[in-house]
Amino acid sequence: MSEPNILLTRIDNRLIHGQVGVTWTMTLGANLILVADDETANNKTVQEIMSLTAESSGASTRFWTIEKTINTVHKAAPRQKIFIVCKTPHEARLLIEGGVPIHELNVGNMHFSKGKHQISKKVYVDDDDLTDFKAIEEKGVNVFIQDVPGDMKEKIKY
């Protein structure tokens, strides 16, 4: 079976919102936004609202748990151009270690919370985040910080 066509994976605290549902999806030419998040997978209302946002870009949406994503994504048809979104680097790491063929990881929004320090305009991290990023990069994934297409890409500085 051929690899699912995953155009990009993005870490964004807000999952699907304007920049993701419209800008990134249109720029990538994705027709399927796959939100890999255990909490969202169990919240129908949030799913409905997020899929409205995605509608404006013409993409379909899936809201799956991390486990379901790992087990099911390889069944994608070749015509499906997938954009995966998850909340944190830890979830991205679980997907990658679970065998989801992710080659490019875009770091979008990681909000401030206590104990985190700022490494880019929209990105705050703590030591656990950095450990996850290191593990991801060691697997050969290209990790870059970029809020919207057209912004300069930055690498994670450890």
Partner 1 sequence: MKFILTGHGPFAEGLSGAVKMVGGTALTCDVVPFLDDEASVFGKKLRSIIREASSSDGAVVFCDLMGGTPFNQAMAEAVSFDNIEVVAGANMPMLLECLLTYSPGESAQDIARKAVNAGRFGVVDGKVAMANKHDEEFEGDGI
65 lies in the site for partner 1, by CB under 8 A: no
Tell me whether strands 117-120 and 104-109 are parallel, antiparallel or unpaired: unpaired
2 lies in the site for partner 1, by CB under 8 A: no
The site that binds partner 1 (CB under 8 A) totals a number of residues, namely 28
131 lies in the site for partner 1, by CB under 8 A: no
17 is catalytic: yes
- What DSSP state is assigned to residue 16? S
Task: Write out the two tokens for 94.
Answer: 């679980």
Q: In which element (H, E) is residue 62 found?
A: strand 60-64
94, 139 contact by CB (below 8 A): no
Tell me whether strands 5-12 and 81-86 are parallel, antiparallel or unpaired: parallel
User: Of 125, 99, 103, which is closest to residue 112 (Cα–Cα)?
Assistant: 125
27 lies in the site for partner 1, by CB under 8 A: yes
10 lies in the site for partner 1, by CB under 8 A: no
- Residue from 8, 35, 41, 73 binding partner 1 (CB under 8 A): 73
| Residue number with CB closer to partner 1 (21 or 132) | 21
1 lies in the site for partner 1, by CB under 8 A: no
- Residue from 43, 49, 153, 158 binding partner 1 (CB under 8 A): 49
62 lies in the site for partner 1, by CB under 8 A: yes
CB count within 10 Å of CB 63 equals 24
List, by residue number, the catalytic residues: 17
